[in-house]
Amino acid sequence: MNLAVLIPCHRRTDLLRQAMAAVDDLPVLVVDDSPAGLDLAGVSSVRTSGEVGFARAVNLGLKALESAGHTHVLLLNDDARPVPGCVDALVAAWTEDDGAVAPVLVDPGGDLSSGFVVHRSGRIRVRSGGVMSATVVDAVSGAAVLIRSSERLDEGYRHGFEDLDLCRRMRARGLAVRTLPVRCDHVGGATIARSSRMAQRAAVAGHMRYLGGGWRGGIAVALGVGQVLREGADPGRLMGVLDGWRDHRRADHSAAGGATP
């Protein structure tokens, strides 16, 4: 396995340096997707045109690393920090039957997240709480995951659900998606604050795309509204749900060659 680490970065170079320090024994490529460019002196990096989104930024890095001869990539958020031994464990556990192998993510409050369960209804549930365990899951987070460099994300996703989509396509090809009982600390929300209107917008648009639109898209909208109401009924986030619905509707019209009124 010829492994490299790929870290997309939007703005937080302080967190980026911590992530790089956690994997300092491996080659690292940073994809700079900031608005105006980051000070990355001494860091191997490639630059997007600016704020192209997670999927496009990751694909740019995957293409560069694949061209450089790296067969596998540890995709790492700039706010994620694998603990000592984490990456070695992922590499040691990898088999040719795997599509994605990920650690358990631990947030600053100590809560664990070990992948996702995708319900037939369209609801996505984070496997949280409990203890660390190795298990086959429906999907894992793109915050920290070992994949082949030949994989690509669907650039139709702006920020969110592109990792679930990739895992779904892997499983359709007969590849396993797994978590291991190894730890990676993850701050979360470094690019877009989780409780913001923008995050809600991206989540609803991504969820609708993941479900395929149509009547199933209504499930994503309903779940988004329900989540906001449970968490305090913030008016900005409720507008974010509407924004996300509009974004997906525009994308549908564009793909069909129509015009959105």
- 4 pLDDT band (50/70/90 cuts)? very high
Nearest 5°: phi and psi at 247? -60, -45
**What are the tokens at 66?**
């694949």
Q: What is the pLDDT of residue 129?
A: 64
Q: Classify strands 176-186 and 28-32 as parallel, antiparallel or unpaired.
A: unpaired
How many Å apart are CA 221 and CA 94, to the nearest integer?
A: 37
Closest CA to 126 of 135, 137, 146: 137
**In the prediction, which pLDDT does 259 show?**
37
Neighbours of 225 (CB within 10 A): 17
First to last CA, the chain: 51
Listed ranges 91-100, 101-110, 212-221, 250-259; the one with the highest mean pLDDT: 91-100
Average pLDDT on 157-167 reads 89
d(CA 134, CA 17): 29
Q: Is residue 257 scored above 50 in pLDDT? A: no
Sign, Cα dihedral of 4, 31, 86, 17: positive
pLDDT in tens, 169-189: 999 999 999 999 999 999 876
Domains of the chain: 3-186 (3.90.550.60), 197-255 (no CATH)
What is the average pLDDT score of the chain?
Answer: 85
Residue with tokens 């470094």: 190
Per-residue confidence (pLDDT) for residue 260, from 0 to 100? 33
**Residue 117 Cα to chain centre, angstroms:** 15
Q: Give 232 or 141, the one with higher predicted confidence.
A: 141
Helix or strand (DSSP H, E) at 8:
strand 3-9
- Round to whole Å and give the CA distance between 227 and 154: 25
Q: Which of 134, 139, 148, 88 is nearest to 118 (CA)?
A: 139
Structure tokens at 141: 């987070």
Which pLDDT band holds residue 245 (cuts at 50, 70, 90)? low
**101 pLDDT band (50/70/90 cuts)?**
very high
Average pLDDT, stretch 219-224? 74
Q: Measured between alpha carbons, how far is 138 from 191 in angstroms, rounded to an integer?
A: 25
State residue 2's pLDDT score.
Answer: 97
Task: Answer whether residue 248 shows pLDDT above 80.
Answer: no
- Average the pLDDT over 57-62 and give the result: 97
pLDDT of 253 > 60? The answer is no
- What are the phi and psi torsion angles at 75 (to 5°)? -80, 125
Q: Does residue 150 register a pLDDT over 60?
A: yes
pLDDT of residue 194: 66
Token output for 95? 């088999």
Rounded distance between C-alpha atoms, residue 99 and residue 146, angstroms:
8
d(CA 65, CA 62): 5
pTM: 0.85
128: β partners: 113
Residues 26-41: tens digit of each pLDDT: 999 999 999 888 888 8
Write down the pLDDT at residue 258: 41
